[in-house]
């Protein structure tokens, strides 16, 4: 039962990774499987081996073990030509630690470069230091945008210029944009990078006109190597701001500089945007990021929890991910959870998380800006399950009626923050404990049952 040598392990795992890479998307391989190594492999009897797969973090171990166990085992058996069992552990590859650091080779939860000069440059450029590619969880909903941003980071001004990323609140648009900026500054501290919002740009133009120093404002923007504009839709309808941005866009791109913009909608849907600007926005690559799916929300939850020093078991990660919509809601929930844990001086548990999820302090299932009445929500649930309002509000106990009723309870509580007592009145005079049981039942089941998550998403689509 002697372990194989270091060179043998390295060569074997390279064969395994080469085999697995063919079966996975580049994003999935890079985000998860590339963060593993063969920690040990040894014979347990004359014909059988056991291998320990080292993973950089808890999340990598959980995800790889759940999703790619069979794929890795099959590739390893093929590589060594003998039956082999797998175990997974949290271990950093010593050889990777000795390699030069970088976004592509670093761990999932990358530590920010602490050099004073780099931090100062990021501050001057308004770049957020923790918005790195390594801290960006990749899934099908954002894979194209991630790949485009990485391509721009490798070859700014050439790959996709401009890059226009659009999507809803908290889906990662700003994160990707700032990750490009961090990469550029790491390559060269002399790079002239600036990240602003559409409102910042407009305010600078207005202030320049008032103080009669527009030449300084133009010099600030037009001599950049990279200009990143968040919520660019804000300049639409503002004639002076659009005029200046048109000339800034031309000045930066004609000098070989990179422009990245984000918006909550594609250029074709930005009202009052000048045609000449719209045509320039559409001249590059336009990618959208949809709301994160369950798996991506799990990854985001784990990443943000580790950043806050919260140790969450996989079941608790799933519970949070199933009952939140996007990164910002997850972030807000974890802030509240962290505060509760500090006050209680305790570890997180299912009871506390359920309580906070249904407490109703701003954690809503859909964006708060979207007005949804109780009647509209009831109608949407009835339409989704093809039952009538009398049935769902009545006393029927068959699963055909009780299950949609529980979903309705959950959505009314989580989306609209309807108090339990009022919920009972809406649903035919049911008592507080019945309503609470129904809400908690769906909250728990949503973390393990994909059918429930699909139903909830289908009802939200109807709204």
CATH code of 352's domain? 1.10.8
The answer to the question of residue 340 being in a domain is yes
The answer to the question of residue 184 being in a domain is yes
Residue that terminates a domain, selected from 323, 357, 391: 357
Read off the pLDDT of each residue in 2-21 and give the average, rounded to a whole number.
76
Do residues 409 and 442 share a domain? yes
The answer to the question of residue 363 being in a domain is no
Domain limits for position 78: 6-98
Do residues 91 and 56 share a domain? yes
Specify the range with the lowest mean pLDDT, choosing from 246-250, 399-403, 420-424.
Answer: 420-424
Do residues 139 and 240 share a domain? yes
Do residues 395 and 436 share a domain? yes
For residues 177 and 262, the answer to whether their CB atoms sit within 8 Å is: yes
Do residues 428 and 341 share a domain? no
For residues 458 and 451, the answer to whether their CB atoms sit within 8 Å is: no
Give the residue from 170, 165, 184, 176 showing the smallest Cα distance to 122: 184
Alpha-carbon gap, residue 212 to 207, rounded angstroms? 8
What is the number of structural domains in the chain? 4
Do residues 397 and 452 share a domain? yes
How confident is residue 280, by pLDDT bands cut at 50, 70 and 90?
A: very high
Tokens representing 362 are 């701003």
Strands 258-263 and 163-167 turn out to be parallel
Other C-beta atoms lying within 10 Å of the C-beta of residue 423: 22
Read off the pLDDT of each residue in 204-233 and give the average, rounded to a whole number.
92
Tokens representing 181 are 């900026």
| pTM for the model | 0.59
Read off the pLDDT of each residue in 448-459 and give the average, rounded to a whole number.
81
How confident is residue 27, by pLDDT bands cut at 50, 70 and 90?
A: low
For residues 131 and 260, the answer to whether their CB atoms sit within 8 Å is: no
Give the residue from 177, 144, 151 showing the smallest Cα distance to 259: 177
Do residues 282 and 306 share a domain? no
CATH of the domain at 63: 3.30.300.180
The answer to the question of residue 362 being in a domain is no
DSSP H stretches of helix in 155-238: 173-187, 198-211, 214-222
The answer to the question of residue 364 being in a domain is no
Residue that terminates a domain, selected from 332, 357, 382: 357
The reported pLDDT for the residue numbered 371 is 47
Do residues 348 and 283 share a domain? no
The reported pLDDT for the residue numbered 305 is 86
Do residues 285 and 298 share a domain? no
The answer to the question of residue 187 being in a domain is yes
Do residues 349 and 298 share a domain? yes
**Residue located via tokens 């199933």:** 322
Read off the pLDDT of each residue in 341-355 and give the average, rounded to a whole number.
86
For residues 408 and 441, the answer to whether their CB atoms sit within 8 Å is: no
What 3-state DSSP class applies to 217? helix
Q: Inform me whether the pLDDT recorded for 115 exceeds 80.
A: no
The answer to the question of residue 91 being in a domain is yes
Do residues 139 and 252 share a domain? yes
The answer to the question of residue 105 being in a domain is no
Do residues 169 and 209 share a domain? yes
Q: Inform me whether the pLDDT recorded for 1 exceeds 50.
A: no
CATH of the domain at 421: 1.10.1750.10
- Give the model confidence (pLDDT) of 188-216 as tens digits: 999 999 999 999 999 999 999 888 888 89
How confident is residue 64, by pLDDT bands cut at 50, 70 and 90?
A: confident
Q: If you write DSSP's letter for every residue of 63-112 in order, what string do you get?
A: HHHHHHHHHHHHHHHHHHTS-EEEEEEE---HHHHHSPP-TTTS-SSPPP
The reported pLDDT for the residue numbered 7 is 52
Distance between first and last Cα of the chain: 61
């Amino acid at each position: 039962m002697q372990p194989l040598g270091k060179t043998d392990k390295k060569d074997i795992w390279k064969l395994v990774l080469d085999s697995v890479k063919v079966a996975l998307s580049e994003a999935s391989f890079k985000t998860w499987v590339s963060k593993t190594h063969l920690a040990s492999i040894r014979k347990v009897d004359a014909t059988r081996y056991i291998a320990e797969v080292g993973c950089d973090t808890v999340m990598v171990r959980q995800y790889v073990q759940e999703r790619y166990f069979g794929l890795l085992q099959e590739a390893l058996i093929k590589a060594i030509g003998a039956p082999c069992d797998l175990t997974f552990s949290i271990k950093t590859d010593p050889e990777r630690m000795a390699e030069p650091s970088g976004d592509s080779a670093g761990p999932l939860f990358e530590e920010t470069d602490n050099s004073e000069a780099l931090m100062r440059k990021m501050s001057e450029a308004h770049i957020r230091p923790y918005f790195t590619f390594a801290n960006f969880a990749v899934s099908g909903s954002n894979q194209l945008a991630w790949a485009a941003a990485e391509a721009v980071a490798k070859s700014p001004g050439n790959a996709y210029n401009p890059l226009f990323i659009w999507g809803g609140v908290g889906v990662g648009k700003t994160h990707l944009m700032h990750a490009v900026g961090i990469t550029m500054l790491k390559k060269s501290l002399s790079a002239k990078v600036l990240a602003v919002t559409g409102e910042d740009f407009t305010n600078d133009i207005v202030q320049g006109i008032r103080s009669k120093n527009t030449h300084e404002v133009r010099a600030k923007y037009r001599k950049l190597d990279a200009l990143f504009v968040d919520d660019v839709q804000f300049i639409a309808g503002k004639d002076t701001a659009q005029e200046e941005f048109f000339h800034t866009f031309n000045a930066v791109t004609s000098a070989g500089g990179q422009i990245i913009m984000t918006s909550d909608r594609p250029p074709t849907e930005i009202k009052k945007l000048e045609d000449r600007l719209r045509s320039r926005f559409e001249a590059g690559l336009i990618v959208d990021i949809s709301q994160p799916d369950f798996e991506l929300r799990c990854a985001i939850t784990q990443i943000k929890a580790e950043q806050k020093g919260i140790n969450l078991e996989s079941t608790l990660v799933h519970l949070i991910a199933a009952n939140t919509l996007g990164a910002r809601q997850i972030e807000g929930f974890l802030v509240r959870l962290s505060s509760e844990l500090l006050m209680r001086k305790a570890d997180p548990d299912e009871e506390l998380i359920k309580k906070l999820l249904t407490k109703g302090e701003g954690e809503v299932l859909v964006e708060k800006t979207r007005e949804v009445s109780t009647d509209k929500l009831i109608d949407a649930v009835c339409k989704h399950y093809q039952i009538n309002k009398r049935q769902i509000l009545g006393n029927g106990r068959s699963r055909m009626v009780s299950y949609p009723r529980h979903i309705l309870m959950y959505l009314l509580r989580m989306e609209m923050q309807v108090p339990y007592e009022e919920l009972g009145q809406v649903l035919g005079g049911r008592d507080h404990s019945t309503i609470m049981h129904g809400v908690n039942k769906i909250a728990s089941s949503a973390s393990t049952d994909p059918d429930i998550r699909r139903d909830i998403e289908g009802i939200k689509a109807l709204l």
